[in-house]
Structures are given as structure tokens and as C-alpha cells.
């Protein structure tokens, strides 16, 4: 316990020492425009690109450009989105996929927290040495997974009964604030049966038994009408849940996940 507290203190001091000097190591700063850029090479539709940038806490890059010859032409009355090519822009169908760039303008209020992020909703917990954020707006499991990844974290993985209790306490503290229209009975967490129908693994690849926590609620998992995604009841017991159904979720991150060490 003494060693654990010592390591936790060192991590805390390290996180404080980098405050105010970074945004994210995967973004490059450009002094001419006064902000950070990130090029996403994996192509996406305009909507998915906008969503990914938004989840990273930034926006799709905007810049002064001119139209390519003959553009915009709104071909077949179906081109409502814009792409940059060879220094000029053209209108395209929003379902087409392209690489994209996200941008974050440098402002005076960008402060790196002890969690190694500018997102102040992540709170450091001494029990695990990791940070956690409760998302009150419910999302399907895959979208929750994407949201955590964009924030430099991951859907919370339970590694012990003590961590399960920690998540329960976070759940309890936010239960009354969950947005209407989403399930309040469970939260999405980082486990899935990967369509193996009963072989439950964490998003890190371990079985939940290997990870350290496999305490199912009574009668669970019951695979009711195809419940293949992992969730947790408010009493900290595990549940299998519909992947398409929206539920609140908790993201977990290490202190250095957005820092270049």
C-alpha cells in the first residue's frame, strides 16, 4: 500500500508539472495559425469526420480557400459537403469518404489537468491511479467505445471488486443527472462477448476472469434477444446488454495517454 501511494504521488506530480504546456501529443502546433492540427489518414464520411473531431474536443479544420474550376456544381443535386484537393475546394456527396484534418485553436483557458487532458470532467482516483469520466448522455456500445477512444481513454474495464465499487459510486453520484430518454438501469463498460456467445472478454483482450472481475447479476448473462455487449447494474453486478441500445457509460484513462513521454 505504501508503494502504491508513493507511485500515485509521483504520477500526480508528473501530471502537474506538464500542466499548461500541451494539448495532445497526437496534435502538431502551428504558430502561424495559433493552433493544433491532426491529420486523420483513415478516411471517413463528412459526418463521421465531424463527429470524431468533436469527440476529440476540436473541430474540422477551416481555412481560407478558393473553389476549383467548375465548382461548386452540386452534381445530381446531391453534393452538400466540401473537400480540399490540390489547394482548392469542391463540393462532394456527403457519403463519400476522405482523410480529414481536425483543428484546435490555442486559447488562454487550455489547461492540462492532473489526468493528462484538458477535459476537466476526468477525475483522478487514488484507488487505481487512473481517471474516470461519467457520460450522462446515453450511447450505443460501439459509439460509447468510439467516444472514449477519441478522448484518449477507453470504456472502463473492471479489474477488481474494489474498482467495481468505485464505478458504482461514480454511477450513484451521477444517476440523477442522466439525460432523459436513455436507460438509467445499466451503464456500458469495456467488455463484449465478440459474438462468441458466452466468452466474455475485456476490450483489452483478457477474459473477464483474467481481468479480475466476473461477478454477474443473478440470472445473467441471459442473452435476451441478442445481448452481446457488456454493462454494469447500479449494484455493481455485471449484465449483458443490447449493443444497439443507448446507455450511459464511464470512460477510463491513464495519466499519460495524451502525453508524449
Question: Is the entire prediction scored with pTM above 0.85?
Answer: no
* Cis peptide bond N-terminal to 221, omega within 30: yes
According to the model, what pLDDT value does residue 13 have?
35
Comparing CA positions, the residue from 244, 230, 255 lying closest to residue 167 is 230
Backbone angles phi, psi at 196, to 5 degrees: -95, 0
**Whole-angstrom Cα Rg for the chain:** 21
What whole-number distance in Å separates Cα of residue 89 and Cα of residue 65?
A: 7
Please tell me the number of Cα atoms within 13 Å of 37 on its side-chain side.
Answer: 12
HEC-encoded secondary structure of the chain = CHHHHHHHHHHHHHHHHCCCCCCCCCCEEECCCCEEEEEEEEEECHHHHHHHHHHCCCEECCCCCEECCCCCCCHHHCCCEEEEECCEEEEECCCCCEEEEEEEECCCCCCCCCCCCCCCCCEEECCCCEEEEEEEEEECHHHHHHHHHHCCCEECCCCCHHHHHHHHHHHHHHHHHCCCCCCCCEEEEEEECCCCCCCCEECCCCEHHHHCCCCECCCCCCCCCCCCEEEEECCCCEEEECCCCCEEEEEEECCCCCCCC
Q: Domains in the chain and their CATH numbers?
A: 28-105 (3.10.100.10), 123-253 (3.10.100.10)
Rounded Cα gap, residues 64 and 62, in angstroms? 7
Q: How many CA atoms lie within 13 A of 117 on its CB side?
A: 25
- Measured over the CA atoms of residue 105, residue 106, residue 110 and residue 113, the dihedral's sign is positive
Q: Look up cell 456527403; give the residue.
A: 94
Residue pLDDT tens, the chain, 261 long: 333 443 333 333 333 333 334 688 889 988 888 899 999 999 999 999 999 999 999 999 877 778 888 788 777 787 778 888 777 888 889 999 999 999 999 887 788 889 989 899 999 999 999 999 999 999 999 999 999 999 999 999 999 999 999 999 999 999 999 998 888 999 999 999 977 677 899 999 999 999 999 999 999 988 777 789 999 999 999 999 999 999 999 999 998 888 776
Amino acid at each position: 500500500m505504501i508503494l502504491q501511494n508513493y507511485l500515485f504521488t509521483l504520477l500526480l506530480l508528473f501530471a502537474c508539472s506538464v500542466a499548461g504546456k500541451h494539448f495532445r501529443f497526437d496534435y502538431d502546433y502551428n504558430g502561424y495559425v495559433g493552433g493544433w492540427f491532426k491529420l486523420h489518414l483513415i478516411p471517413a464520411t463528412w459526418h463521421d469526420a465531424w463527429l470524431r473531431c468533436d469527440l476529440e474536443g476540436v473541430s474540422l479544420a477551416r481555412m481560407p480557400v478558393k473553389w476549383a474550376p467548375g465548382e461548386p456544381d452540386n452534381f445530381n443535386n446531391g453534393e452538400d459537403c466540401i473537400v480540399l484537393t490540390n489547394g482548392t475546394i469542391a463540393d462532394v456527396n456527403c457519403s463519400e469518404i476522405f482523410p480529414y484534418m481536425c483543428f484546435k485553436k490555442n486559447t488562454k483557458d487550455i489547461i492540462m489537468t492532473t489526468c493528462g487532458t484538458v477535459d476537466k470532467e476526468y477525475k483522478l482516483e487514488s484507488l487505481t491511479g487512473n481517471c474516470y469520466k461519467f457520460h450522462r448522455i446515453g450511447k450505443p456500445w460501439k459509439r460509447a467505445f468510439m467516444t472514449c477512444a477519441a478522448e484518449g481513454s477507453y470504456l472502463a474495464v473492471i479489474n477488481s471488486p474494489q474498482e467495481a465499487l468505485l464505478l458504482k459510486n461514480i454511477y450513484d453520484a451521477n444517476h440523477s443527472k442522466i439525460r432523459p430518454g436513455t436507460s438509467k438501469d445499466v451503464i456500458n463498460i469495456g467488455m463484449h462477448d465478440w459474438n462468441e456467445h458466452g466468452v466474455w472478454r475485456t476490450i483489452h483482450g483478457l477474459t473477464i476472469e483474467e481481468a479480475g472481475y466476473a461477478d454477474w447479476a443473478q440470472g445473467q448473462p441471459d442473452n435476451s434477444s441478442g445481448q452481446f455487449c457488456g454493462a454494469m447494474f447500479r449494484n455493481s453486478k455485471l449484465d449483458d446488454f443490447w449493443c444497439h441500445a443507448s446507455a450511459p457509460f464511464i470512460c477510463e484513462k491513464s495519466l499519460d495517454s495524451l502525453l508524449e513521454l
